[in-house]
Amino acid sequence: MRVSIHREAAPVRRSLFRKYFIALFAAVIVPVAASGISDAWFGYHDQRAMLSALLRVEATSAAGKMQSFLAGIRNQLGWTLQRTLTTAAGGQHRLEALRAMRQAPAIVSISLVDHAGVERLYVSRIGLNRLEGGSDRSGDPAVAGARSTGIWYGPVTFRNGSEPFLTMALLGPIDSIAVAEINLKLIWVVISEIRVGRSGQAIVIDQTGRIIAHPDISKVLQGTDENTAAALRRLRDKIVAAHGEAATARNAEDERVVTAMAPIPSVGWTVFVEQPQAEAFAPLYASLWRTGGLLLAAIVLAAALAYWLARRMTGPIRLLEEGTEKIGAGQFDHRIDIATGDELERLAVRFNQMAQELAVSRDRSERIARLKRFLAPQVAELVEKSGDESVLAGQRAEVVAVFCDLRGFTAFSAHAEPDDVMQVLRDYYEALGAIITRYEATLTNFSADGLMVLVNAPVPSAEPALRAVEMAIDMQDAVQHLIAEWRLRGHAVGFGIGLAMGRATVGRIGYEARVDYTAIGNVVNLASRLCSSADDRQILTDDSVACSVGGKIPMVALGARHLKGFDEEVRVYDVGIRSLTSDFAPDATEISAKS
Amino acid sequence: MRQGYFALAYLLALFVGSFAASQGLAATVPHVGLLTYWDCSPGTVQDEFGPFLKGLEELGYRKGETFALECQAAGKNYDRLAEAARKLMQLSVDVIVTSSQPAGRAAHQVTDSVPIVSIVSGDPISAGLVASLARPGGNFTGVSYYATELTAKRLELLKEAIPGIVTIGVLANPDVSYLPFEADAMRAAEKLGIGVKLHHIRQPADLDVAIPEMKKESVQAIFVLPDVMLAGEAAHIADLALEQRLPTMAWAPWYPRNGCLLAYSADYAEMLHRLAFYVDRILKGTNPGDLPLEQPTKFELSINLKTANALGIELPQTILLMADEVIE
């Protein structure tokens, strides 16, 4: 039994523990992972968008600063153009030009050209001034440019191949033109103050892609080599490809940067702002690491939780399995101990109750089996059902004792083959047993061919004597049929019955393992003696049986007989057998008349 | 994590640094060598190199901790500059810093391997110091300024300040006649229609003779040409000029501060300050030949109104308007 259960349990294809573990683990980790991953995803996009917006703002603001630098110079130039250029006012113009240079340190020189294109004044910080008598500058592209567009910006020139200069020409309200040379190194002050994040920077390049402003002034003064120009072109292409959003690329120093740009339309320059990628994405990386860490922690926690819960669920189930195995193996005293307070505990309680009931049921069936040895099965059931075995307790009761045995059996058994002997006895007991059961009589004991039956104990019956006599008649009848068969086979046996009614002590005797029900008293001896004295086919009864039966069954009074063990003579009646009833009928009426 | 390493490295550096300092500075810290025409007394060094040293400090350098400062002087003798430069070489300095063209030139004559950072006047390319302003190419770099162009500009400003000027007395040191100052001054004077009385000054004592002599030559103003020896004689010249009631135009702001009437120059303090940037880059491994020479963007007109009053000169409005520094 035990082995077979194990054989069933071992090849569990997918254990409950595993299923629970996976289900619980998934229940915890899937939402956490989904939220973490979506957070990271959206965080990444937000961060990228924010970074792009930030860099674009920085670029626009840097471009704005460049533009206001140029606008400041333009405004200063504007002040020099308020008066008509006349010789008389020459000193005044010079003062205005000097004032403009004082206000705008980047202006290295200013030329004032009149409406005819003649230079009227030239003041410089370094070169010698020219007052009056100036040359014709109407062919100067600056002058021509300013005349046609109002304001003209020249290309950036690198003086001595190093310092960047810009020429700006402005047309005044009275057709005079101011041409200024501007030292672009001064925008270095503006550009070097721009800080994008911690170490990001801004760079300005002109139309031709040459660097004109860089926080590291050396990069401007050295001139822009082909590699740098190519790198800057690459940055520009990348940003254009990203539709103006910040792009990641390698800059001229071959560092990974995030970069955005903004144009300075008036001069055709471009401002790049760039931030090292590692720095720009640091918050993003930090948040990714954080998400990863949390996810890992969640996995560990979920695994621990799932393990604990799965254990908690499958542990009691295992206990139940073991418990049922033990109970199945007959250990009804085994109790499954589960205190989870849930359905599993209830199930365990049910199992325990079942085990208890199985134990009770087994005890009962054992008891019934025991009772059935001497009580008719239905009687045994009755006693069992009532649950009251007090009926089996010792008491004095009015009983009918019935004894019967075969005549000539000892002699038969002495020379017959054992098989024949046993066959005879088998037929004999089969016939008698059925009758005893039918009459709900109590078979107290039997040995070889003799047996003793009680009527009215332990279960009382309405007319015990009549019942006993009818049973005896049936028994005699049945056995006589058997005897007829036996005689055909040459077995010379007969059958006699003795009955007696009277008070006797009844009850169980014996020890725990072997208990019998029996009756003790004179009536038992009497019945036994009557049986002994009965001939074949005879049913002898005593006086009290005959009186109790009355005239219901005809009997033949045989008169008083002296029986062994009895001092007085006993009056004996013969019931006879059914097949002979007709023969003896007159006698029977006789008896009833006599009594 | 990385910051942690940096902190550790920094602590280590501090420890090693203090250890080195207690051991009289190990060879691990860079040695910066100053080459000066004057002397190496702390006061003089501070006067000459103050803005430079301040610039180094601003870049995080600590004298005696993260760098060692060496100094060699020519003792007011141009001829000894080369010798002083050689001494610096023997001290195996990592970079030589000078504040004047002659000192830078002397160092350049001594070494073509140790980086030299200097203020240069004149044309550094034709002087053979650098290949170009954008890419010097050799071991020499620094700040170049328009000394030659400014000579003409100074003369123009002097003429503007004292309109009736006809003749000027020029003070020049023949020791630096290899620089084009004299020729520039002559050319500009000619262009502006001014006569020139040139006086060569080899030593300060020559001034005591030259300036009274100028008065006798009836010059209307004194014009001082750039020279390190003359730089140190600002007060001397001012006193003598005032004695002779002559206005003076000089080439550095400290002349008016010492009593001369006018000076027009690039911003020396700014140029010196800028040298610290070069030294920093060189100590961090940049080849000096890759560091472009910078040119000053700021020019200062300095005037001394006290002197103007003493001389009975009323400066025109344009000069007052242009003045960046006015001593009253």
The domains found in chain A, sorted by start residue, are: 2-17+300-360 (no CATH), 22-187 (3.30.450.20), 192-283 (3.30.450.20), 373-594 (3.30.70.1230)
Interface of A with B in 129-148 (CB under 8 A): 129
> Residue B235 — very low, low, confident or very high, per pLDDT cuts 50/70/90?
very high
Residue A589's pLDDT band, with cuts at 50, 70 and 90, is very low
B76 and B101 within one domain: yes
Contact B292 A162 (CB under 8 A): yes
**pLDDT tens digits along B78-109:** 999 999 999 999 999 999 999 999 999 999 99
Please state the three-class secondary structure of A337-394 as a single string.
Answer: CCCCCCHHHHHHHHHHHHHHHHHHHHHHHHHHHHHHCCCCHHHHHHHHHHCCHHHHCC
Residue B245 and residue B103 share a domain: no
Where does A117-250 show beta strands of DSSP type E? 119-124, 130-131, 151-153, 157-159, 163-171, 177-183, 201-205, 211-213, 247-250
Residue B246 pLDDT greater than 90, yes or no: yes
Q: Are residues B69 and B95 in the same domain?
A: yes
Predicted local confidence at residue A76, as pLDDT:
92
Amino acid in position A267: V
Examine the domain organization and report whether B98 and B183 are in the same domain.
no
Exposure of B245 by Cβ count < 10 A (0-12 exposed, 13-18 middle, 19+ buried)? exposed
Quote the ipTM score. Answer: 0.86
Q: Which CATH number fits the domain that encloses residue B18? A: 3.40.50.2300
Same domain as B128, residue B19: yes
Residue from the list B292, B318, B321 with its beta carbon closest to the beta carbon of A218: B292
d(CA A233, CA A226): 10
Grade residue A236 by pLDDT with cuts at 50, 70 and 90: confident
Confidence of residue A13 (pLDDT cuts 50, 70, 90): low
pLDDT tens digits along A476-491:
999 999 999 998 888 8
Selected for mutation to probe chain B from A221, A225, A228 (highest B CB count within 10 Å) is A221
Cβ contact B292–A125 (<8 Å)? no
Q: Residues B108, B197: one domain?
A: no
Contact check, Cβ <8 Å, A163/B191: no
Do A221 and B294 count as a contact with CB atoms less than 8 A apart?
yes
User: Does A9 score more than 60 pLDDT?
Assistant: no
B229 in the same domain as B316: yes
Measuring CA to CA, which residue among A490, A454, A480, A488 is closest to residue A539? A480
Report, as an integer, the average pLDDT of A46-74.
91
Cα separation, A507 vs A504, whole angstroms: 10
- Say if CB B101 and CB B121 are below 8 A apart: yes
State the pLDDT at residue A554: 87
Task: State the smallest CA–CA distance between residue A129 and chain B in angstroms.
Answer: 8
- Report the alpha-carbon distance of residue A527 to residue A403 in Å, rounded: 6
Q: For residue B215, name the pLDDT band (cuts at 50, 70, 90).
A: very high
Q: Answer yes or no: do A217 and B153 touch at CB < 8 A.
A: no
Question: How far is Cα B138 from Cα B130, in angstroms, rounded to an integer?
Answer: 6
The residue with tokens 């009290």 is A544
- Measured in whole angstroms, the distance separating CA B204 from the mean position of its chain's CA atoms is 18
Asked if residue A355 lies in contact with residue A383, where contact means CB atoms within 8 angstroms, the answer is no
At residue A39, the pLDDT reads 85
Q: Which residues of chain A are within 8 Å of residue B191 when distances are taken between CB atoms?
A: 128
| Closest by Cβ to A128, choosing from B132, B152, B297 | B152
**Whether the predicted pLDDT of A523 surpasses 50:** yes
pLDDT exceeds cutoff 90 at A332: no
Q: Does B299 touch chain A (CB under 8 A)?
A: yes
More confident residue, A362 or B85: B85
Of all helices (H) and strands (E), which one includes residue A536?
none
Whether residues B203 and B170 fall in one domain? yes
Closest CB to A221: pick one of B149, B150, B292: B292
| pLDDT tens-place string over residues A555-576 | 888 888 888 888 888 889 988 6
What is the rounded CA–CA span in Å between residue A183 and residue B296? 10
Report the candidate in A316, A326, A315 with the shortest Cα–Cα distance to residue A355.
A326
CA dihedral A523, A526, A530, A533 (to 10 degrees): 170
> Are the C-beta atoms of residues A90 and A120 closer than 8 Å to each other?
yes
A195 Cβ under 8 Å from any chain B Cβ: no
pLDDT on residue A448: 84
Q: Within this chain, do residues B167 and B218 fall inside the same structural domain, yes or no?
A: yes
Clarify whether residues B227 and B306 are in a common domain.
yes
SS3 B193: coil
Residues B160 and B245 occupy one common structural domain: yes
pLDDT value at B146 more than 90: no
Based on the domain organization, do B8 and B72 belong to the same domain? yes
Question: Is the pLDDT reported for residue A231 higher than 80?
Answer: yes
The distance of B79 to chain A (nearest Cα, Å) reads 32
Is the confidence at residue B17, as pLDDT, over 80? Answer: no
Tally of domains within chain B: 2
Pairing state of beta strands A177-183 and A107-113?
Answer: antiparallel
Cβ distance of B318 and A222 shorter than 8 Å: no
What confidence tens digit (pLDDT) does each residue in A300-311 have?
Answer: 998 998 899 888
The helix (run of H) or strand (run of E) holding residue B279 is helix B268-283
Q: What is the dihedral of CA B84, B89, B93, B99, to 10 degrees?
A: 40
Q: Which domain holds residue B238?
A: 147-266+300-327
Residue B129, pLDDT score:
92
Gap between the terminal Cα atoms of chain B: 59
